Amino acid sequence: MAATTHTVTNQAPPLVGYDVFASDRALVEGVERHLDPALLDTARDELSLLGRSAGSAQAQEWGALANENPPVLRTHDRYGHRIDEVDFHPSWHRLLGKAVGAGLTAAWARPGGHVRRAAGFLVWSQTEGGHGCPVSMTHAAVPALRADPELAAEWEPRLTSTVYDQGLRPASQKAGAIFGMGMTEKQGGSDVRANTTRARALSEDGTYELTGHKWFCSAPMSDGFLVLAQAEQGLTCFLVPRVLQDGTRNVFAIQRLKDKLGNRSNASGEVEFDGTWARRVGEEGRGVRTIIEMVAATRLDCVIGSSALMRRAVVQAVHHATYREAFGGRLIDKPLMRNVLADLALESEAATTLAMRLAAAYDDGGEQERAFLRLAVPAAKYWVTKRCTPMVGEALECLGGNGYVEESGMPRLLREAPLNSIWEGSGNVQALDVLRALQREPLALNAFLTEVGAARGADHRLDGAIKGLLTELADLEGAEARARRLVERMALVLQGSLLVRYAPPEVADAFCASRLGGDWGAAFGTLPHTLDLASVVERAAARP
């Protein structure tokens, strides 16, 4: 009889069948910290239900299938009529339907909505990143639409609905609606004031027709879009419905879908407007000010989305190391691997803790918290999204060759990781936005310093970092060339302040020693060996 050669040993079992929410201690503690106690029991139940679904084999299969079967553009029907539709795999609709049904577009419509929604978005995004784009834009469109109370009254109930009603029909006939956005043009990029799309008024009731080209239109299958165009008084915000009230298709010619590095389940297209019907949102010439509330909300979602990618990556790395044996023992027990895992866990927890603090500021809504968000959101967006790619790459390496094959899911995470750093303004745009706020909005700096100062005196390394930051902030002459360094330091000090106040001592100690105290190398896995790294890794593990 031939010998059996294909006996598989020393492989980690699939990480499946666990509660993605309940096993994330930093996230659970963030919800408990920032949510009204009267809402906690209901929120925990909702989030654990979503967490169990996110950790199921079914949801993981949906994520894989949505990425393996990217959207397909159909410009014409069989008879030659222009239809401009995008076909998605059924798994995409299941993911998006679950997100909408879980209230991930309904933050504005319920108490504690932003903390609950941020936690849910962080949990559910771990199944698959692409469908988070329309979820984010639908959520973020609400504050922009509130610039026009009539439009808000008409559209807000649809956008905050928990019913995913797919298919192109007049929005008035749908139980829920999804929104996209079109700001970027090929000649301008982030410089939206260079946009050339034109808007011509049709009447005095705020209706216009648009003519022009959008280089990146996110989620072009949506029911409506917020776009920028040049009107008589300057750059203006408009709402473009996909289907008009009489049932006819608005002029919305999708020229092609982008072939992207990651985020492949989601459609991003180039769109032509040619006499496209639109309604003005806000005043003419005030388009950037009108749409900036949407931009701020989607920037926070970039932070949350990157936090989700980090969490998924570190959980996979810890899970693999828990079961994999090498050189006479489990990988997780090897001092050097433990150092790497602990370093990854610190990065993940710092991102999650910061994301939840920002969500809580949205729920508060007071002047102090709004001023805090003005600086904290672009600083967090800059730093957390920048850290995502190297962190996910290191987590992939923890799985060795197994992590490099598609079946592991890690390559998909790595392709997704750079997206949030680019979307809604790249790193330089965020850094310049922080500088702008520092120079023009003193209340924002006061609110930021009040927040980080709440932990002053608790850790000497944090105190030293705050002192150094104050020195840098005292002289902003010629600051543009050093803006990245400044914003990085602001984000790290903010994360350190939050962890010192809220995280276990071993987490705060390791973060301050490495990120603020300078006892750290240039790669992950270079933490001081004297720290309690085993406890940091244990805290990060997901328990099926």
Tens of pLDDT along the chain (544 residues) come to 566 788 899 999 999 999 999 999 999 999 999 999 999 999 999 999 999 999 999 999 999 999 999 999 999 999 999 999 999 999 999 999 999 999 999 999 999 999 999 999 999 999 999 999 999 999 999 999 999 999 999 999 999 999 999 999 999 999 999 999 998 888 877 788 788 999 999 998 999 999 999 999 988 999 999 999 999 999 999 999 999 999 999 999 999 999 999 999 999 999 999 999 999 999 999 999 999 989 999 999 999 999 999 999 999 999 999 999 999 999 999 999 999 999 999 999 999 999 999 999 999 999 999 999 999 999 999 999 999 999 999 999 999 999 999 999 999 999 999 999 999 899 999 999 999 999 999 999 999 999 999 999 999 999 999 999 999 999 998 899 999 999 999 999 999 999 999 999 999 999 999 999 999 999 999 999 999 999 999 999 997 6
* pLDDT at residue 371 in the model: 97
Q: Which residues pair with 326 in a beta bridge?
A: 329
* pLDDT at residue 3 in the model: 63
Non-local (6+) Cβ contacts of 196 within 8 A are 185, 187, 188, 212, 230
Residue-by-residue DSSP string for 153-195: HHHHHHHT-S----S---GGG-S---EEEEEE-TTTTT-GGG-
| C-beta separation of 116 from 46 below 8 A | yes
* pLDDT at residue 544 in the model: 67
**CA separation for the pair 156, 171 (Å, rounded):** 11
- The H-or-E segment that residue 309 falls in is helix 287-323
Number of C-beta neighbours around residue 83 at 10 A? 12
Nearest to 105 by CA among 94, 90, 121, 93: 121
Number of C-beta neighbours around residue 535 at 10 A? 15
Helix locations, 55-162, DSSP H = 57-68, 90-101, 113-124, 132-145, 149-159
CA distances to 2, 8, 324 from 5, rounded to whole Å, are 9, 9, 20
**CA separation for the pair 406, 397 (Å, rounded):** 13
29-68: b (≥16 Cβ within 10 Å) or e: bbbeebbeeebeeebbebbbebbbbbbbeebbebbbbbbe
**CA separation for the pair 315, 541 (Å, rounded):** 6
Spell out the CATH class of 25-285. Answer: mainly beta
* pLDDT at residue 543 in the model: 77
| C-beta separation of 97 from 84 below 8 A | no
Q: Which two tokens stand for residue 501?
A: 């106040």
Q: What is the CATH number of domain 289-540?
A: 1.20.140.10
**CA separation for the pair 465, 456 (Å, rounded):** 10
The structural domains of the chain, with segments of one domain joined by +, span 25-285, 289-540
CA distances to 75, 81, 164, 208 from 84, rounded to whole Å, are 4, 9, 21, 22
